[in-house]
């Protein structure tokens, strides 16, 4: 946990007891947790959620992981959670920044407080933006994450070369912002050329097929940015299968076991690790603090990144951010 997040935790730990009425010591909120899809990122987030639930003595209900990414998979699960009638908070990653507004507004109308993790609604500004009903957003600064990838790729390519982005779904706040940050970064280098961006709908096989087609079509392709778990996995596998590991620089977002394996093989040049454990832990802590009457909770908390390379992957202070799923 970063110093900034540790400070948030310490401040909340000091504030929560002061906000507890003497007659409400045993009163605990019921919290629901709804991830975006089944993948190592959200599985690690679940570990953080459960750790905080144990620390604060609250119960968390996780109905199921959506089978695929999208409102059609997430909305029915959300509606069933609301229909239970016993949830005070729902922590979730909205799978579409616009299409999930109405279902979540219905949850709020039913008396449930919403905390978004990883992804957000509207523009993510819950104070002055178009969507203000969530309590907080806890996640990465994804524009900055995209910039990290763009600058790293430009540095490795000496500021010139053709590059390609493997993206996931249109309308997803996080991956849209990563693409935005990446383009902003490489635009500072006149010799860098973005030749395309494809969307794989969170399917690694589709990502691999799309990337393979680009490799065949663009023999001068020099670098690839995979914006999430599935995008990076598919792109890395396509480069590996083409026998071009090291010849095409690949920047992978999300520190899965497969991404680290590709890093060890020299197929991936750098892995950008998010901190899903911290996101999950803080979300439960925020729910508990709000329940106890803390009114000073920030509307936005960014959890930072760890940049993993072949040079530092064995450093315990870096390796702890690799997504470890039991």
Nearest to 86 by CA among 107, 104, 57: 107
Please indicate, yes or no, whether residues 163 and 109 belong to a single structural domain of this protein: no
User: Total domain count for the chain?
Assistant: 2
Span 76-130, pLDDT tens digits: 999 999 999 999 999 999 999 999 999 999 999 999 999 999 999 999 999 999 9
Please indicate, yes or no, whether residues 258 and 279 belong to a single structural domain of this protein: no
Contact 114, 104 (CB under 8 A): yes
Question: Structural domain of residue 182, as residue ranges?
Answer: 142-273
Q: Could you say which of 252, 273, 294 is where a domain stops?
A: 273
Is residue 164 in some structural domain?
yes
CA distance 57 to 61: 13
Q: pLDDT-derived band of residue 5, with 50, 70 and 90 as boundaries? A: low
> Where is 109: in which H helix or E strand?
helix 101-109
Please indicate, yes or no, whether residues 151 and 259 belong to a single structural domain of this protein: yes
Q: How many CA atoms lie within 13 A of 304 on its CB side?
A: 11
From start to end of 134-245, where are the E strands?
A: 136-139, 160-167, 191-199, 221-226
Query: Any idea which residue has 């059609």 for tokens?
Result: 72
Q: Could you say which of 273, 292, 321 is where a domain stops?
A: 273
Is residue 99 in some structural domain?
yes
Residue 314 in tokens: 């064995």
CATH number at residue 55: 3.40.50.2300
Is residue 321 in some structural domain?
no
Please indicate, yes or no, whether residues 82 and 181 belong to a single structural domain of this protein: no
Q: Sign (positive/negative) of CA torsion 90, 6, 316, 149?
A: positive
Please indicate, yes or no, whether residues 46 and 113 belong to a single structural domain of this protein: yes
**What predicted TM-score, i.e. pTM, was given to this entire model?**
0.90
Contact 283, 49 (CB under 8 A): yes
Please indicate, yes or no, whether residues 150 and 195 belong to a single structural domain of this protein: yes
Is residue 310 in some structural domain?
no
Is residue 32 in some structural domain?
yes
CA distance 226 to 251: 6
Please indicate, yes or no, whether residues 261 and 212 belong to a single structural domain of this protein: yes
Nearest to 259 by CA among 286, 296, 226: 226
Span 294-310, pLDDT tens digits: 999 999 999 999 999 99
- Give the per-residue pLDDT at 187: 98
Q: Could you say which of 226, 253, 273 is where a domain stops?
A: 273
């Amino acid at each position: 946990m970063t110093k900034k997040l540790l400070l948030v935790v310490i401040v909340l730990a000091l504030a929560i007891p002061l906000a507890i009425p003497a007659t409400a010591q045993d009163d605990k909120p019921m919290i629901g947790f709804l991830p975006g899809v089944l993948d190592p990122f959200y599985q690690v987030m679940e570990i953080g959620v459960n750790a905080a639930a144990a620390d604060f003595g609250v119960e968390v209900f996780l109905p199921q992981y959506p089978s695929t990414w999208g409102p059609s998979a997430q909305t029915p699960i959300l509606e069933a959670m609301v229909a239970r009638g016993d949830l005070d908070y729902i922590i979730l990653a909205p799978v579409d920044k616009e299409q999930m507004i109405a279902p979540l507004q219905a949850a709020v109308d039913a008396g449930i407080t919403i905390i978004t993790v990883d992804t957000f609604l509207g523009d993510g500004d819950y104070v002055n933006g178009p969507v203000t009903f969530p309590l907080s957003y806890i996640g990465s600064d994804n524009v900055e994450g995209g910039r990290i990838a763009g600058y790293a790729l430009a540095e490795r390519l000496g500021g010139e070369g053709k590059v390609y982005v493997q993206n996931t779904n249109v309308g997803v706040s996080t991956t849209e912002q990563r693409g935005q940050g990446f383009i902003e970064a490489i635009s500072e280098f006149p010799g860098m050329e973005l030749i395309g961006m494809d969307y794989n709908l969170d399917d690694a096989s589709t990502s691999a097929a799309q990337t393979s087609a680009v490799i065949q079509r663009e023999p001068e392709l020099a670098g690839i940015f995979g914006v999430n778990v599935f995008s990076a996995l598919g792109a890395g596998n396509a480069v590996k299968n083409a026998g071009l590991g090291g010849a095409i620089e690949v920047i992978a977002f999300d520190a899965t076991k497969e991404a680290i394996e590709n890093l060890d093989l020299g197929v991936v040049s750098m892995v950008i690790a998010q901190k899903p454990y911290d996101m999950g832990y803080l979300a439960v802590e925020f729910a508990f603090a709000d329940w106890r009457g803390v009114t000073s909770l920030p509307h936005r908390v960014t959890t930072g990144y760890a940049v993993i390379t072949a040079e530092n992957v064995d450093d315990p202070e870096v390796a702890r951010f690799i997504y470890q799923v039991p």
